[in-house]
Amino acid sequence: MKNPLQQAVSPLHALLRAVRRPSARKRLAALQRDVGRLLRIDPVFVARDAHAFHAGASRVQPAPWLAGYEQKLEAQGGRIHLQRFCLCCNETTPMLVDMESSWQGRDGARVLNWRERLICDQCGMNNRQRLVAKLVQQAAAEHERARIYLTEQVTPIFQWVRRLPATDVHGSEYLGDQHRGGDVMDGVRHEDAMNLSYPDASFDLIVSNDVLEHIPDPAKALRECSRVLRPGGVVLATFPFQTGSEATVVRATLGAGGLKHLLPAQFHGNPVSAEGSLVFQDFGWDLLATMRQAGFSDAACEVYMNDAFGHLGVPLLVFRLRK
Ligand SMILES: [Zn+2]
């Protein structure tokens, strides 16, 4: 005779045994994929100018428990895993938070870089990468077979997006002046964002992550994006953005006279170049007018923050341009 505890637990054991069968695991994985397609993430608010942004900013304040999180992290050995639901893996996974990519604050203390951490244990994508990948899936679902171009090919986002069903996914990197647009080196395609080799109206969706600030003439790159997009097509773009600045600050120019620095040189990491990428501009709100002049009927800054899906610490900005 089983005791009450054993009686309560044995159906659970039977269920666990059933779920471990390969056929059940397959069904579970398919169910997980379906659930993943049904789940959506939407912006907390959308801004088209500084005024609208500041009016909405109070709705994306970090949770009070995140105050002084750096000290808490240090006390726990510098690494914490937060359990959150990853929209790209469709399950609750541990997400790594540490002080990698942190920067020095005004008081000299290190500041945690929430945008680049919260790395999902399963898919390996960080906070901003998981968000963009999910937004690409959502945008692709509006087409029967979406033609997608990612301006960065050597990234986990590209690897994830290329596995999406019913899509035709293209990617490239800037490999240097010596290459021609469309050249493929070791499986990586070369493209110059200011002079794409793709024909007009080639894509339904263009994805550009942290590239625009490294382009000497961003307006020209935006005109190229508009040219290769189909009517109604969409660009999803991320880049460092100064929400408090109306005007874009030019840090460097590249003209007939060569490279000229107007401000101290600043570099960001680049997966295909050891020396990193020079930052040409610190963008402000006037960029949205530049986007509209480049051929987009709408340019909007979407603001995301979602604790349950592991997008926390700082609001994430994604720019959505519609041709
Ligand atoms: Zn994941």
Q: What is the pLDDT of residues 168-196, one digit of tens each?
A: 999 999 998 899 999 999 999 999 999 99
| Helices and strands of the chain, counted as H and E runs | 8, 20
Element (H, E) at 28: helix 22-38
What's the domain range around 289? 52-322
The answer to whether residue 46 is domain-embedded is no
**Amino acid letter, 212:** L
The answer to whether residue 66 is domain-embedded is yes
Cα of 220 to ligand 1 centre, how many Å? Answer: 35
Cα of 135 to ligand 1 centre, how many Å? Answer: 14
Look at 4-8, 33-37, 51-55, 94-98 and tell me which has the smallest mean pLDDT.
Answer: 4-8
pLDDT over threshold 60, residue 1: no
How many domains does the chain fold into?
Answer: 1
CA distance 118 to 285: 28
Higher pLDDT, 112 or 22: 112
CA distance 30 to 36: 10
Cα of 91 to ligand 1 centre, how many Å? Answer: 8
Cα of 247 to ligand 1 centre, how many Å? Answer: 36
CATH number of the domain where residue 201 is located: 3.40.50.150
Cα of 142 to ligand 1 centre, how many Å? Answer: 23
Cα of 124 to ligand 1 centre, how many Å? Answer: 6
Cα of 229 to ligand 1 centre, how many Å? Answer: 29
Cα of 278 to ligand 1 centre, how many Å? Answer: 30
CA distance 126 to 311: 9
Tell me the per-residue pLDDT of 303-321, one tens digit each, with 9 for 90 and over: 999 999 999 999 999 999 9
Cα of 90 to ligand 1 centre, how many Å? Answer: 7
Query: What is the arithmetic mean of pLDDT over 251-261?
Result: 90
Q: Is the pTM of this model over 0.85?
A: yes
Long-range contacts of 271-279 (CB under 8 A, 24+ apart): 271/152, 271/154, 271/155, 271/173, 272/154, 272/173, 272/174, 272/175, 272/188, 277/214, 278/214, 278/252, 279/213, 279/214, 279/240, 279/251, 279/252
Tell me the per-residue pLDDT of 13-69, one tens digit each, with 9 for 90 and over: 777 777 777 787 788 777 777 777 789 999 999 999 999 999 999 899 888 999 889
pLDDT over threshold 80, residue 88: yes
Cα of 53 to ligand 1 centre, how many Å? Answer: 29
Q: Most confidently modeled of 108-112, 179-183, 273-277?
A: 179-183
Cα of 5 to ligand 1 centre, how many Å? Answer: 36
SS3 content of the chain, % helix, strand, coil (to 5): 30, 35, 35
The answer to whether residue 182 is domain-embedded is yes
Cα of 123 to ligand 1 centre, how many Å? Answer: 4
The answer to whether residue 25 is domain-embedded is no
Cα of 166 to ligand 1 centre, how many Å? Answer: 21
Cα of 191 to ligand 1 centre, how many Å? Answer: 29
Q: How confident is the model at residue 9 (pLDDT cuts 50, 70, 90)?
A: low
Cα of 187 to ligand 1 centre, how many Å? Answer: 25
Cα of 157 to ligand 1 centre, how many Å? Answer: 11
The answer to whether residue 20 is domain-embedded is no
The answer to whether residue 37 is domain-embedded is no
Burial of 295 (0-12, 13-18, 19+ CB in 10 A): middle
Cα of 255 to ligand 1 centre, how many Å? Answer: 42
Give the strand pairing for 188-189 and 184-185: antiparallel
The answer to whether residue 60 is domain-embedded is yes
Cα of 306 to ligand 1 centre, how many Å? Answer: 15
Cα of 127 to ligand 1 centre, how many Å? Answer: 10
Cα of 85 to ligand 1 centre, how many Å? Answer: 8
CB atoms under 10 Å from CB of 262, counted, come to: 10
The answer to whether residue 282 is domain-embedded is yes
pLDDT of res. 30: 76
Cα of 32 to ligand 1 centre, how many Å? Answer: 13
